[in-house]
Every structure is written in structure tokens, then in C-alpha cells.
Amino acid sequence: MRVFRLWAVLLALSIAGCGTSRKPSEGGEPIMGRDSISAARMERFLLRHNSTVDRTYARQLIDAYRKECRAEGVRTSVAFCQMCLETNFLSFTGDVSAGQNNFCGYGATGGGRRGARFPSPEIGVRAQVQHLKAYATTAPTKGRCIDGRRRLILLGSAPQVDDLSGRWAADPDYGTKIRRLLRELRTE
């Protein structure tokens, strides 16, 4: 019976994308916390990479990131840079389309799988922020949890940006790419 339980736990961790052989990293860029990146800096950064984005839409989206991140304790710059990476600065050149209000590839697992669709940009941002929080900590969400994939991950398994590599995305350089965007955003 003991062997069966151990096997079941290992299988559950494997399915959740949280292999037991990898520990969360120490140091680096934490996902949780506050940062002081201004909305104007975020807007300039986004528009420099994609000048076709509607300014009003960009401002509303940035406001949603600031609100949801503040509510859940997730660093706004981390969630915002993840969105920039996942959507190619709102160009939506991957499996997810703009109309899905899915800014983080939520549920899009490659091979043309489109991922989740959210009723509004604000709800899409909330789902992303809650999911980031679930990876970063074991704390519950502050607001009503709309993260339907929360049960699929090992809570607190990725407290640092680099820990998202191989967990949030299969790309072993996923965290490095987000950190690169963070550095660029800080110098905007």
C-alpha cells in the first residue's frame, strides 16, 4: 500500500508538470511582491515593440494588470512581461488569438490547441495573475478564484521567474526570456 501511495504522488506531480527532481531556484526574480514600474513606462515599452496597439486598449490592459497584481500580491512587471512574451506584444502570433482575452497561453499546450477563452480582458488578466500566484505560493487567491487550472499544479513550486521554465511552459529558457524583458522594461 505504501508503494502505491508513493507511486500515485509521483504520478500526480508528473502530470502537474512539477517533476520531483527539480527544486525551486533561490534568488533571482521573485514572482510575488510589489514593484514600482509606472503605467506610462509599461505603455511606452509595449508600444515600442508593437506600435499598432490601440493606446486606449493598452492603457485599459495595463490598468487591469496593476489592479489584479496589487490585489493578489504578484509583481505587475512579471505578469506584464509574461504577457508581452506570450502574445508577442499583443500581436498574437501563436496559438491564441486576440479575441480569446488570453494573455498568457492559458491552456494552450501547443499543436494548435487554442487554450482558454475569457469573457473580457480583465477576466483574462485575473486568470493569469491568479495562476502565477498559484505557481509562486501556496496562499489562496484574495478574490473569487477563476483559475480553473489551479488544481493541476503543485502550489508554490515556482516562486521565482526562472522556476516557470519547464513548468508554465516547456521551453527551458522561458524564465530567461521573461527576465530579459524585465531588464528591458526597467531601462525603458
Report pLDDT digits (tens) over 26-56: 668 999 999 989 999 999 999 999 999 999 9
pLDDT at 164: 97
Cβ contact 25:5 at 8 Å: no
Burial class (CB in 10 A: 0-12, 13-18, 19+), 136: buried
- The pLDDT of 56-74, averaged and rounded, is 97
Q: Element (H or E) spanning 186, and its range? A: helix 174-186
Report pLDDT digits (tens) over 4-14: 443 443 334 33
- The pLDDT of 77-95, averaged and rounded, is 96
Cβ contact 134:16 at 8 Å: no
d(CA 173, CA 79): 17
Distance of CA 186 to the CA centre of its chain: 18
Indicate the residue type of 154.
L
Entry pTM? 0.85
Average pLDDT, the chain: 87
Report pLDDT digits (tens) over 148-167: 888 888 999 999 999 999 99
pLDDT at 26: 63
Q: Which domains are delineated in the chain?
A: 30-186 (1.10.530.10)
Residue owning grid cell 509574461:
82
Q: Where are the alpha helices (DSSP H) in 23-120?
A: 39-49, 55-72, 76-87
